[in-house]
Structure formats: C-alpha cells, structure tokens
Amino acid sequence: ANIAALPDIRRLDERTVNRIAAGEVVERPASAVKELVENSIDAGAGRIDVVLEDGGRTLIQVTDDGCGMVREQLPLAVERHATSKLKNGDLVHIEALGFRGEALASIGAVARMNVTSRAQGSDAAWSIRVEGGQVDAPAPAALGAGTCIDVRDLFYATPARLKFMKTARTEYAQATDVLRRLAMAHPDTAFTLSDGRRVTFRAEPVANLVGNARLERLAAILGREFRDNALEILAEREGLRLEGFAGLPTYSRGNAQHQYLFVNGRPVKDRLLAGAVRGAYQDYLARDRHPVLALFLEVPADFVDVNVHPAKAEVRFRDAGLVRGLIVSALRHALAEAGHRAATTVAG
Ligand code: ADP
Ligand code: MG
C-alpha cells in the first residue's frame, strides 16, 4: 500500500480535547450551574448564592463559604482530570458529588472563567483566570473565606454550541430546577438564586429544632399544599433505604416534571425509578395524571454506578429489580393505608 496516501493519525491538542469534552459535561448554563453548586456543596458550604444574568448566557456566578482553596491549588483545580475527591482511584466509594475533575476545566475551555478563593484559616485570597482554555497565573484578590466563580460568555469559544442555547427565560427556568433539586437534598444549606436584580429562589437552612428537616425544606420549595397532601415514605430492604414524601393521588399534576428522585443524595433522572413510580400509582391515577413526590434512596456504594453519564444524571443499579420492588411496594403500601384511613374517616 502507499503509506504516503494514507491520512495522518494525530493526537488532538489539549485545548481541543477540552473543548470536545466540555460539550458532554456542560450542555447549557444549567449544567454549569449544577457543576459549580455541587462543588460548593462538596466544599462544605453553609450558604451558596447564585447569580445568573441573561439566563446564565452572559454571566453565571456562584459564591460559597466552603473550605476554599490556597494559591497552589488553583491551577490544579482548573486542570482536566485533577480532583481532590477521588481517594486512591477508588471509583466505588464516592462520597462527594464530583469526582471526575472535569467541570472547571470544561467550563474554562468554552467560556471566560474567574475562580477566586480564600481557604478557611488563610488571610489571602487568590484568583485564577481561564479564557477559552488559556490559563493565567494566579493573582492576588479580595474575598471572604470561600470561593467565588464567575463564568462569562459561556460557549463563546464553541460557536456551534452557542447557537443551541435557548432563550434566557428557558435557561433560567432550567437552572432554577437544578437548584431546587440540590436544595431538596441539602436542607442544612442556604441557597439563593438571583437574576442580578432580585432573588427569585431562596431556601433558608432548616433549623435542627424542626421535627423533620427534610419535610420542612420540601414544603419551602414545593409549597405548603404539598406538605398537607403528602404521605411519608419509609422503607428498608436488603441494605437499601427509601425515604421521602409522596403526594396523594388527589394532588396530582398533568405532567411528570414534579418528581424529584435522589440516589445517595444525588439528584437523578432515571428511567427505572420513574417507571417504578408510574407502576405504583397506576391503580390510583388516570394515565395523564402524575404524582408530585420527592424520594431519597440510599444504597451501599458498591450497589450503584454513578459513573455512567458525564453529567452524572443517570445511574446504574446492581439489582434493578430490587430497587423497583422497594419503591413500588413502599408507595403502594402508603397509598393503600391512606385510602383505608380516608374510608374509615368517612364511615366513622
Ligand atoms: P471534581 O468536582 O470532579 O473534583 P471539578 O473540576 O468540578 O472536579 O473541580 C476540581 C477541583 O477544584 C475539586 O476537586 C476541588 O478540589 C476544587 N474546587 C472546585 N470548586 C470548589 C469550591 N467551590 N470550593 C473549594 N474547592 C473547589
Ligand atoms: Mg465538580
């Protein structure tokens, strides 16, 4: 064969690799918000404030009061495949929300990003700037303890992706949904979301004195009416634990958008779980009606693979049947009991 006529096989340079990968991790402003807020949660923040201008298309800013970073850590934080969260390459026992070390590098590859941070106990803040994958040296900055990341002009470096961004209103709504889900899973953390003029979403930390912190946080996000129409769900089977609150059939909605599912504290959108919910309610609801619920499933680390999807929205279970069975039976049990209570109240 004529080797000279064959096409060259070349390694992609790092900036190109990052821009390609960024497309998987950061699909839209809401996915950048998710990554940044998850980092703040992983950093142990007690309060997280998010500002989005133009639906996040021109500015996404996330400020937290978490552990912060020292100067030497900043270049690593924005480097691809660098993380403080994966211990000894153990992909099984993942406790943090992050672990892939891709988010900051990906965002920095397609936007203009500034990471400013001051480590707890340190008196100096430092800032590092990344623009289209180009990383500057850290510079002195001013900030209280914690981290503030701002991302401007998302996707300016990838014009094809830029064109796929929806209206500011749609992007803002998506980001709000992301924040609501994370706030449900973290009742001790304060969250705000602002559009630069006013706060549009706020979740105050639920005091420990309150009987059920989780229900209080859900009520704050989903409304008092949800609380008055929700059944408590609590079930355990073979090391799996399910808890949460599920709306009565009479409190149903016309779409399935109001189902909030979590696995080990991680918001997920999983077909298996959604299917189990549908199965449980099928005798109680017309086909075009959907329950409102928030379910938190806790499983052993080696029972679930959270590494299936770059954005970590989908998970894979070792025994899907067991998960489905637990959810269906816990929901059906609660629904049957509620029905029984209602019947005896009427009769009595
Ligand atoms: P991952 O979260 O998977 O580790 P990221 O790219 O999201 O990857 O973040 C890289 C690293 O930067 C994290 O492992 C963490 O050490 C640091 N970091 C990112 N955001 C914050 C933050 N808000 N507070 C403190 N450290 C942070
Ligand atoms: Mg992360």
Task: State pLDDT tens for residues 174-192.
Answer: 999 999 999 999 999 999 9
Distance 204 CA to ligand 2 centre (A): 23
Q: Is the CB of 247 under 6 A from ligand 1?
A: no
Task: State pLDDT tens for residues 264-323.
Answer: 988 998 889 999 999 999 999 999 999 999 999 999 988 998 766 666 677 889 999 999
What integer best gives the mean pLDDT of the chain? 91
Between 201 and 210, residue with greater pLDDT: 201
Confidence of residue 1 (pLDDT cuts 50, 70, 90): low
Max CA separation in the chain (angstroms): 92
Q: Is the CB of 262 under 6 A from ligand 1?
A: no
Angle value at C-alpha 275, between 269 and 277, nearest 5 degrees? 90
Q: Is the CB of 273 under 6 A from ligand 1?
A: no
Q: Is the CB of 67 under 6 A from ligand 1?
A: yes
Q: Is the CB of 85 under 6 A from ligand 1?
A: yes
Please check the confidence at residue 121 and state whether its pLDDT lies above 80. yes
Sign of CA dihedral 214, 292, 48, 100: positive
Does this model's pTM top 0.80?
yes
> Of 207, 211, 326, whose CA–CA distance to 273 is shortest?
326
Domains of the chain, by residue range, sit at 14-203, 213-343
Q: Give the CATH fold of the 213-343 domain.
A: Ribosomal Protein S5; domain 2 (3.30.230)
Residue with CA closest to ligand 1 atom 10: 77
Q: Is 14-203 in CATH node 1.20.810.10? A: no
Distance 42 CA to ligand 2 centre (A): 8
**C-beta neighbour count of 9 within 10 angstroms:** 5
Residue 273 token pair: 């779980």
Task: State pLDDT tens for residues 76-107.
Answer: 999 988 888 887 777 777 778 887 788 999 99
Task: State pLDDT tens for residues 235-274.
Answer: 999 999 999 999 999 999 999 889 999 999 889 988 899 9
Per-residue pLDDT at 86: 82
Q: Is the CB of 74 under 6 A from ligand 1?
A: no
Residues whose beta carbons lie less than 5 angstroms from ion ligand 2: 39, 98, 103
CA-based Rg of the chain, rounded to a whole angstrom? 22
Per-residue pLDDT at 16: 85
Per-residue pLDDT at 178: 95
Count Cβ atoms within 10 A of the Cβ of residue 30 and give its class: 0-12 exposed, 13-18 middle, 19 or more buried: buried
Residue with CA closest to ligand 1 atom 2: 98
- Closest ligand to Cα 105: 1
Strand partners, 305: 316
Q: Is the CB of 116 under 6 A from ligand 1?
A: no
Distance 41 CA to ligand 1 centre (A): 10
Task: State pLDDT tens for residues 7-64.
Answer: 889 999 888 888 888 877 888 999 999 999 999 999 999 999 999 999 999 999 999 9
Map residue 35 onto helix, strand or coil. Answer: helix
**Per-residue b or e along 62-96, where b marks 16 or more CB atoms closer than 10 Å to that residue's CB:** bbbbbbbbebebbbebbbbeebbebeeeeeeebee
Confidence of residue 204 (pLDDT cuts 50, 70, 90): very high
Give yes or no on whether 14-203 and 213-343 have one common fold. no
- Closest ligand to Cα 72: 1
